[in-house]
């Protein structure tokens, strides 16, 4: 039996749901042609987007630039997020997600399937949860 109060347990569930909604908003922005005008709003000002496979961006301006590059790189993507494992600790949280989906590459005129893993750090701000550090690793790529 948990030593937490009902209020603490409900707060944890609300936090987890808010973080899931943050990931859904992220997915929608990515699948909206990697919209550079909307992506930074999901990150704290000094947030980090990092991938050994796709680049690193520190802060809103660099994240927007990275997504401008993604917009040139990908003509289509479908972020099918799954298997979230979210741990909330006060105003901080971590999350692990997996994604499998199709991508169309503009330059190579190729269609690929990517399997990726996200390891995220979140922070609670005045109006909800935002990304502090998003890490994504390509686990598999396959031409379709």
- Domain spanning 6-143, CATH class: alpha beta
Average pLDDT over residues 110-127: 96
pLDDT digits (tens, 9 = 90+) for 21-57: 999 999 999 999 999 999 999 999 999 999 999 999 9
Per-residue model confidence (pLDDT) at position 1: 56
- pTM for the whole structure: 0.94
Selection from 5, 14, 6, 22 nearest residue 132 by Cα:
22
């Amino acid at each position: 039996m948990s030593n937490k109060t009902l209020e603490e347990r409900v707060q944890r569930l609300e936090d987890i749901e808010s973080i899931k909604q943050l990931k859904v908003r992220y997915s929608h922005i990515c699948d909206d042609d990697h919209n550079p005008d909307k992506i930074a709003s999901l990150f704290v000002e000094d947030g980090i987007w990092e991938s050994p496979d796709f680049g690193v961006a520190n802060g809103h301006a660099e994240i927007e630039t990275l997504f401008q590059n993604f917009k040139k790189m990908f003509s289509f993507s479908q972020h099918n997020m799954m298997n979230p494992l979210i741990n909330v600790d006060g105003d901080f949280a971590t999350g692990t997600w997996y994604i499998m989906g199709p991508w169309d590459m503009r330059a190579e005129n190729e269609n690929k399937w990517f399997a990726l893993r996200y390891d995220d750090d979140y922070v609670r701000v005045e109006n909800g949860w935002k990304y502090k550090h998003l890490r994504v690793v390509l686990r598999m790529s396959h031409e379709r």
